C-alpha cells in the first residue's frame, strides 16, 4: 500500500517530536533485492510504489528540514528530526547519495537449510565500487548450488562439511559471493580485494561468520592486489594453492583482463581438476570487448573456457533509485589445458 504524506502530521500543526519521528520512519526507503527469477512486472511495480508521490514526499521532508521546530523544546529531539528527514531525502537521490546501508540477501540450497547473509555497504565515494554489492555477485551466488552439481561435481560434494579444498575469491567487494560459497559448499573460502576494501569486507565476514560456520563453512579475508608482488608477499607466497577461484564483475577497465587472468593463473592450482569460475555482466559494448580480450589472454596462459553460459539477472541502485534493469551476464568455467 502506498503512503500519502497528506495523512501525516504537518509542520503547521506543530505536532510532537514523537509524531514527526514516527512519520519519518515510515518514509524510509526499503532496499530491493531481486532474485534472478523475479518477474519484470513485480520489479516495476515495486519501484513505482517506492517512487509514488515523489515530489510530495520531498516537499514534506523539506518542510521539516527548513523549519526551526520552535514548538519543540528539546534541542536533541530537533536535531534527531532534521537528521532523519535528511536521511529520507538522501535515500531518494540514488545510491551514491545514501549513507551506510545494511542489506539482507536470502539463499536457498538443496544441501542445507535456507540462510541469509547480512551485508554492510558504506557510502560510495570516488572509485570505491567495491563497497557496493553488484547484481552479478548475487546471481552467481544463487547459481553455486547448481554449478556444484554439474561443472564442479568432481570437486564439491554438497552436504559434506569441511571439504578438503580451498576456494579463493578475487575482487570480493562486500563479500556476498565468497561467503555464499563457504556456506553452500561447506568449504574454506578466502575473500580478497584491495587494501582499501578489506576493512569493510572483514566487517561483513565477522557479521556472518557464526551463520557460515554453523552451516559447515569457513571464511577469511586478505588484501590481494593483482599484479603486485609486494602487497601479497606473505599470505600468498605459495602460488597455485587454490582448487577453485571465483570472480564476479571484475572487468570494467582496460587493464583488468590482463590483471585478472594473471591473478587466476598465479593462484589456481596446477591441476587438471582445478576450476576458475568467472561471471561478467554484459552491460555495454566495452564490457563485451573486455571479455573477448580476457578470453584471449586466458588461452595464452593455458587456461581454457570449458563452459560458457548466459544468465540474466537484475542490477539495482545504478544512479536513479527509481530504476532497476535486467542485465545479461556471461558465465565461464575455466580449467587448465
DSSP codes joined into one string, 221-269: EEE--TT-TTTTTTTT-S-S-BSEEEEES---STTHHHHHHHHHHHHB-
pLDDT value of residue 27? 87
The last residue of one of the domains, among 92, 109, 124, is 92
Rounded mean pLDDT, 28-51? 54
Range in 172-176, 206-210, 317-321 the model is least confident about: 317-321
pLDDT at 50 over 70: no
The last residue of one of the domains, among 47, 64, 92, is 92
C-alpha span between 106 and 144 (Å, rounded): 14
Q: How confident is the model at residue 303 (pLDDT cuts 50, 70, 90)?
A: very high
The last residue of one of the domains, among 70, 92, 114, is 92
80 and 144 belong to one structural domain: no
Between 269 and 92, where is the model more confident? 269
pLDDT at 21 over 90: yes
Tens digits of residue pLDDT in 251-302: 988 999 999 999 999 999 999 999 999 999 988 888 899 999 999 999 999 9
pLDDT value of residue 36? 46
pLDDT value of residue 115? 93
Return the SS3 of 335: strand
84 and 106 belong to one structural domain: no
Tens digits of residue pLDDT in 217-228: 999 999 998 876
pLDDT at 65 over 70: yes
- In 3D, which of 171, 184, 170 has the Cα closest to residue 142? 184
- In 3D, which of 276, 221, 273, 264 has the Cα closest to residue 239? 264
240 and 322 belong to one structural domain: yes
Rounded mean pLDDT, 72-91? 89
19 and 143 belong to one structural domain: no
Domain boundaries, position 33? 5-92
83 and 115 belong to one structural domain: no
271 and 195 belong to one structural domain: yes
69 and 216 belong to one structural domain: no
313 and 245 belong to one structural domain: yes
- In 3D, which of 131, 222, 125 has the Cα closest to residue 173? 131
Q: Whole-model pTM?
A: 0.74
Contact 51, 324 (CB under 8 A): no
C-alpha span between 274 and 291 (Å, rounded): 21
Percentage of the chain surpassing pLDDT 70? 80
> Residue length, the chain?
337
127 and 237 belong to one structural domain: yes
Percentage of the chain surpassing pLDDT 90? 55
25 and 51 belong to one structural domain: yes
pLDDT at 43 over 60: no
What CATH number does the domain containing 212 carry?
A: 3.40.50.150
Q: How confident is the model at residue 327 (pLDDT cuts 50, 70, 90)?
A: confident
56 and 198 belong to one structural domain: no
Tens digits of residue pLDDT in 115-163: 999 999 887 655 566 678 888 899 999 999 999 999 999 998 877 766 6
pLDDT value of residue 90? 72
- Residue 101 CB coordination number (10 Å): 17
- In 3D, which of 145, 144, 154 has the Cα closest to residue 273? 154
pLDDT at 323 over 50: no
Number of folded domains that form the chain: 2
pLDDT at 30 over 60: yes
85 and 189 belong to one structural domain: no
Amino acid at each position: 500500500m502506498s503512503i500519502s504524506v497528506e495523512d501525516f502530521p504537518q509542520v503547521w500543526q506543530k505536532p510532537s517530536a514523537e509524531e514527526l519521528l514516527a512519520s519519518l520512519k515510515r518514509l524510509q526507503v526499503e532496499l530491493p533485492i531481486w532474485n534472478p527469477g523475479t518477474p519484470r512486472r513485480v520489479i516495476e511495480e515495486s519501484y513505482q510504489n517506492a517512487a509514488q508521490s515523489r515530489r510530495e514526499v520531498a516537499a514534506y521532508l523539506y518542510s521539516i528540514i527548513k523549519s526551526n521546530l520552535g514548538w519543540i523544546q528539546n534541542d536533541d529531539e530537533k536535531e534527531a528530526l532534521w537528521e532523519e528527514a535528511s536521511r529520507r531525502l538522501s535515500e531518494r537521490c540514488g545510491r551514491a547519495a545514501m549513507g551506510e546501508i545494511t542489506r539482507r540477501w536470502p539463499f536457498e540450497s538443496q544441501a542445507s537449510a535456507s540462510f541469509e547473509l547480512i551485508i554492510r555497504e558504506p557510502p560510495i565515494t570516488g572509485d570505491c565500487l567495491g563497497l557496493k554489492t553488484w547484481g552479478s555477485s548475487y546471481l552467481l551466488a544463487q547459481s553455486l548450488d547448481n554449478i556444484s552439481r554439474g561443472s564442479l561435481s568432481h570437486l564439491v560434494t554438497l552436504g559434506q562439511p569441511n571439504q578438503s579444498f580451498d576456494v579463493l575469491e578475487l575482487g570480493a567487494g562486500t563479500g556476498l559471493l565468497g561467503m555464499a560459497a563457504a556456506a553452500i559448499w561447506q568449504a574454506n573460502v578466502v575473500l580478497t580485494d584491495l587494501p582499501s576494501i578489506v576493512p569493510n569486507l572483514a566487517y561483513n565476514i565477522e557479521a556472518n561468520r557464526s551463520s557460515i560456520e554453523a552451516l559447515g563453512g569457513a571464511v577469511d579475508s586478505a588484501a590481494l592486489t593483482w599484479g603486485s608482488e609486494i602487497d601479497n608477499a606473505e599470505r600468498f607466497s605459495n602460488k597455485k594453492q587454490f582448487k577453485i577461484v571465483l570472480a564476479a564483475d571484475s572487468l570494467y577497465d582496460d587493464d583488468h583482463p590482463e590483471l585478472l587472468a594473471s591473478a587466476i593463473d598465479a593462484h589456481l592450482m596446477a591441476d587438471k581438476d582445478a576450476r576458475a569460475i568467472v561471471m561478467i555482466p554484459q552491460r555495454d559494448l566495452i564490457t563485451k570487448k573486455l571479455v573477448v580480450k580476457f578470453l584471449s589472454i586466458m588461452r595464452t596462459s593455458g587456461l581454457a573456457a570449458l563452459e560458457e553460459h548466459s544468465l540474466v539477472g537484475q542490477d539495482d541502485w545504478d544512479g536513479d533509485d527509481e530504476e532497476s534493469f535486467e542485465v545479461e551476464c556471461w558465465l565461464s568455467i575455466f580449467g587448465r589445458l
